Amino acid sequence: MTLIDPTLSPNRSGDDLIKEGTDASFMTDVVEASKVQPVIVDFWATWCGPCRTLGPALEKAVRAAKGAVKMVKIDVDANPAYAGQLRVQSIPTVYAFINGQPVDGFQGAIPDSQIKAFIDKLTGGAGGSTETAQLLELGEESLGLNDIGGAAQAFAHVLSIEPENEKAIAGMARVYLANGDPEQALQTIAMAPQDSKEPAVQSVRAQLALAAKTPTGAFTELEARVAADPNDHQARFDLAEAQSAAGDFKGAVDHLLAIVQADREWNDQAARKQLLTIFEAAGLSSDVSKDGRRRLSSILFS
């Protein structure tokens, strides 16, 4: 499984974001497409001076939105039907479509700042691309359903639009982990800044740190040692490491909490420190982390 090279994305030239439309393609390019993401329609003509000013400014703003919105250019001389239906009386006229309906618009050339505000209003502002958010959500949902291929496509699509998107980088790394390829996951997560504060990136790095540990003894041997001597903290700690490396965060948390409860200072608080790594790997908002933190606090402050 390989990542899509962002330099090969059609978005790089804007072809996928900006297209020449016609009356024949209007339903597909505008009405249907706007059910997925906002579509801006620029009604123009070759002889229109203000159109030559507004058009490039619109295209620049659309590309800057990185997939949050698309643009369709309609030459009203060659394609008068929908311009007539929308009562376009002067050009340039711009309409924005969402869910198949015109929701906003303006006439004449306007400053770049107003164009940006127009697009921000359609996309929810600087909070990010609608398309990107939908793809990230699709990737997470696919991972939850163990649809590794679907998740890979979604995250790779985001990376083709936004090569530095840290959530997508982390998502793709998780795809490789789920596919049993920690080496590729390590290479992928290295695409994120080393000092990244993105929780998804930190979670993957914690998972890789856990997976890299090689506890001594097999599961059955370690379980037998713990069963024979519940106070064998090293055996219990090794068992917790083996469980966390295998993705059984809940089981690992249970054993580490047992160590903390019995001797919180054991091995320079190794159990508590390992718990914090597991909470990060599982995701700080996960049930495992929330329940584990509550139980750890109860032990430490009782």
CA dist., res. 300 & res. 260, Å (int): 8
Spatial strand order of the sheet with 93-98 comes to: 18-21, 70-75, 39-44, 93-98, 101-107
Structural contact between residues 74 and 82, judged by C-beta atoms closer than 8 angstroms: yes
Which of these is catalytic: 3, 51, 94, 210?
51
Contact between residue 238 and residue 277 where contact means Cβ atoms under 8 Å apart: no
CA 175 vs CA 19, 47, 181, 189, 256: distances in Å: 33, 52, 9, 11, 28
Q: Which of 33, 48, 65, 256 is catalytic?
A: 48
Residues β-bridged to residue 72: 19, 41
In 3D space, the residue among 193, 192, 173 whose CA is nearest the CA of residue 183 turns out to be 173
Q: Is 263 a catalytic residue?
A: no
Q: Is 11 a catalytic residue?
A: no
Active site residues: 48, 51
